[in-house]
Amino acid sequence: MNTLNLFSKVIFHDNLKLSEKDKQKLKQVVKKEKYNQVEDKNSSCISESLHLLDDNKLNKIKQTIVDAFMKFNKETLKYNNEFEMTTCWSTKSSKNNYSNFHNHTNNFYSGVYYIDVDENTGEIEFCDFSNNTFELSPTEYNIYNSKSWKLKPNNDMIIFFPSDLHHMIHLNKSNKDRYSLAFNFFPTGKIGIGDSTLEVNSIN
C-alpha cells in the first residue's frame, strides 16, 4: 500500500546539541530578562526584548539555530532562498501558566528551543482549525486523521513549524519555571512568480 501525505504542515524537531557552556549562558540571559504577561494573570510571559539573540555574546547560539533551520530547508523543504531570523524572544511559564492557541503572522517559519523544562512544565500542541466536512472517531489517532498533535519538550529540543500553524503551551503543573526561546524566519531573495515577484534583500 502506498500513501501520499499531501499538502501537509511540515514540523521538524530534534536536539540542537548546544554545548553545556552555551546552554548555561542562554539560561542565565533568559532568567535575567524582564517579562510581560500576554493575555491574563495565568498566561505565559514573554521577554521585553524581541531580539534577544542579537546580543553579541549570543551570536554563536543564534548562528547555530539559523544553521539548523537552513539544513532543514536544504534537506526537506528545498526552497531556493536564504532565511533571516526576524524576531527572537524568551517565554517564561510559571506554575499554572499556559498560553492559548495563536500563530505568528508576517513570517514564514517559526520555532522554539527549550532551555529549562521538565516532565510537567507543559507540552506544546499544534492544531488545524480548518473546517471539516465530517467528524469521525478513529480506532487510533495518527498524523493522517488528527486535527491536533502534541509534543513533549525536553531540554535542548528545537522545533520548526509553519508560522501560520496555530499552537499553544499546555498548563505548567510543575513548581519549576519553564523557559524557552521562540523565533521567526522570513525568506530573502526572490519571492513569487511573474507579476507577483518580490525581491527581499534584507530584513531589518
pLDDT tens digits, 43-102: 999 999 999 999 999 999 999 999 999 999 999 999 999 999 999 999 999 999 999 999
pTM: predicted TM-score of the whole model, two decimal places: 0.95
Is residue 9 within 8 A of residue 158, CB to CB? The reply is: no
Strand partners, 14: 158
Q: Is the pLDDT of residue 204 over 80?
A: no
Alpha helices in the chain (DSSP H): 20-32, 59-72
| Residue matched to cell numbers 546539541 | 17
How much is the pLDDT for 131? 87
Q: Is the pLDDT of residue 202 over 90?
A: no
How much is the pLDDT for 1? 83
Q: Which helix (H) or strand (E) holds 116?
A: strand 109-116
pLDDT tens digits, 118-165: 999 999 999 999 988 888 999 999 999 999 999 999 999 999 999 999
Q: Is the pLDDT of residue 203 over 80?
A: no
Is residue 64 within 8 A of residue 23, CB to CB? The reply is: no
